[in-house]
Amino acid sequence: MKLMNLKGTSDFLPNEQVLRNKIINTLRTNFEKYGYLPLETPILNYYDLLAYKYSDDAEILNEIYKLKDQGERNLGLRYDLTVPFCKVIGLNKDLRLPFRRYEIGKVFRNGPVKLGRTREFYQCDIDVVGIDNRIIEAEQILMAINTYNELGIEVFVKYNNRKLMSGLIKEVGVSDDLIPSVISVIDKLEKITHEELISNLKDLGLTIDTINNLLTNFNYSLVEYEDIFKDTSNINIKEGLEELKELNNYLQELGIIDDCKFTPTLARGLTIYTGVVFEFYDKKMRLTCALGAGGRYNKIITDFMDNGNLYPAIGLSFGLEPIYTILKSENTNQSLIDIYLVPLDTNIECLKLATTLRDNGISVLVEMNKKKVSKCFEYAEHENINYISIIGSNEIESKEIRVKNMQTKEETTLKIEKLVNFLKK
């Protein structure tokens, strides 16, 4: 058997996982700062649940990993965290709304593999159910910008409204049943050639005149749309523009409008979205794919509950893999070990000292294989350990040790009882 990973999956060694954990911890801290509560859902789900609300030819269904259990039930691995969240709301009817949750967990997609996109990856999601106004959209965009900044990544935001898109398509005479398919093609405008775009629209049955009118409709600024359709009777265009205007006011007042770009062709791939949608991109374009995305989906939980009430919802997902891909190229290897103690026939004393340090929140590695001192220094340098101290009987008797900083190569001599404060500084 040849040992290898499945394409699109990876092992992460400790020096890599330290950075990944740092990203996750930063996200978790920010999620909780904005009032989101932790949630965990199963990776395994009934296939019918995962396929809910999608037509048989929906692209996402082709990326679901399908399997059967011993009872021949059709199952699948979750491809995102949104549908399982909707299920939780449906199963727990006593939850008080609005309900904010975050979840960080693995999802799986049997899709194409490229830089920043894998088949097994973490999603880091926040969702809110029970709020239907643009203040929550603005807050989520603000939170995302601040969180990416904290991670050291400057982002810009593309945003749009699915209602506006539907209205613009209907305006040129496209039938209601074709609108979702046309939206899917328009969403690819920046990813495929003009010829491919025309061909895809023709395949849907659109004439060349309709296609030309359609593409013209998606070529205006937000101000121009407001002027062109100020007296429109098209309810989708009217509501879409009203929501975008409200959102813009919040973005302006929050001081982040310069980081946001209205993009009338942005749809987000999934058909669950019903209103505002947004995506986050690296300003330096080290990756061209989105680093995170989200939007409003008002119907899916409402349909799950099916009790006559409305359950407006909005969610945002951070992509751990693209964030990690950017940061790993700019971060030196990091270690979780603060100090490496090397005993010279002082095993008991070193274990006691290590216990004291650990009780004070300091991470300690004690050498237990009697390596040569030179090899211990090599190991500390290779593993990026911050400090090393060689402790023999003289050090124990004098209660004074030397500590070497492995980054600066400086050595410090100090009393053992002062080691805790020294390392904490």
Whichever domain contains 366, its CATH number is 3.40.50.800
| Position 57, amino acid | D
What pTM value is reported for the model? 0.86
The residue among 328, 348, 372 that closes a domain is 328
Residue 134 lies in a domain: yes
Q: Is 94 helix (H, G, I), strand (E, B) or coil?
A: coil
Are 273 and 149 contained in the same domain? yes
Read off the DSSP letter of residue 60: G
At 36, which CATH number? Answer: 3.30.930.10
Give the pLDDT score at 378.
Answer: 95
Structure tokens at 72: 């021949």
Residue 4 within a domain: no
What SS3 class is residue 105?
strand
pLDDT at 270: 67
Q: Are residues 353 and 397 in the same domain?
A: yes
pLDDT of residue 271: 76
Which of 328, 356, 389 finishes a domain?
A: 328
Contact 41, 35 (CB under 8 A): no
Task: Put the strands of the sheet holding 44-46 in their side by side order.
Answer: 44-46, 74-77, 66-68
79 located within any domain: yes
Distance CA 61, CA 85 (A): 18
Q: Does residue 114 belong to any structural domain of this protein?
A: yes
Same domain as 376, residue 266? no
Is 6 a member of any domain? no
Q: Are residues 316 and 390 in the same domain?
A: no
Q: Which domain holds residue 375?
A: 339-424
Regarding whether 343 and 323 lie in a shared domain, the answer is: no
| Within a domain: 9 | no
Check if the beta carbon of residue 102 is closer than 8 Å to that of residue 26: no
Domain boundary among 328, 363, 398: 328
> How many distinct structural domains can be found in the chain?
2
Does residue 82 lie within any of the structural domains? yes
- State the CB neighbour count (10 A cutoff) for residue 208: 10
Q: Are residues 255 and 131 in the same domain?
A: yes
Q: How far is CA 263 from CA 145, 219, 277, in A?
A: 18, 9, 10
Beta strand 339-343 with 364-366 is parallel
Residues 110 and 32 in one domain: yes
Distance, in Å, from the CA atom of 63 to the CA atom of 51, rounded to the nearest integer, reads: 11
Of 368, 364, 346, 345, whose CA–CA distance to 356 is shortest? 364
Q: Note whether 185 and 301 are same-domain residues.
A: yes
State the burial class of residue 42 (Cβ atoms within 10 Å of its Cβ: 0-12, 13-18, 19+): exposed
Tell me if 64 is assigned to some domain: yes
Per-residue pLDDT of the chain (425 residues; tens, 9 = 90+): 899 999 999 999 888 898 999 999 999 999 999 999 999 999 999 999 998 766 666 778 889 999 999 999 999 999 989 889 989 998 998 899 999 999 999 999 998 887 767 899 999 999 999 999 999 999 999 999 999 999 999 999 999 999 999 999 999 999 998 998 999 899 988 888 989 999 999 999 999 999 999 999 999 999 999 999 999 999 999 999 999 999 999 999 999 999 999 999 999 866 789 999 999 999 999 998 899 999 999 988 888 888 899 999 999 999 898 899 899 887 666 678 999 999 999 999 999 999 999 999 999 999 999 999 999 999 999 888 999 999 999 999 999 999 999 989 999 999 999 999 999 88
292 and 351 belong to one structural domain = no
Within this chain, do residues 201 and 222 fall inside the same structural domain, yes or no?
Answer: yes
106 in the same domain as 164: yes
What confidence score (pLDDT) does residue 171 get?
93
Residues 316 and 374 in one domain: no
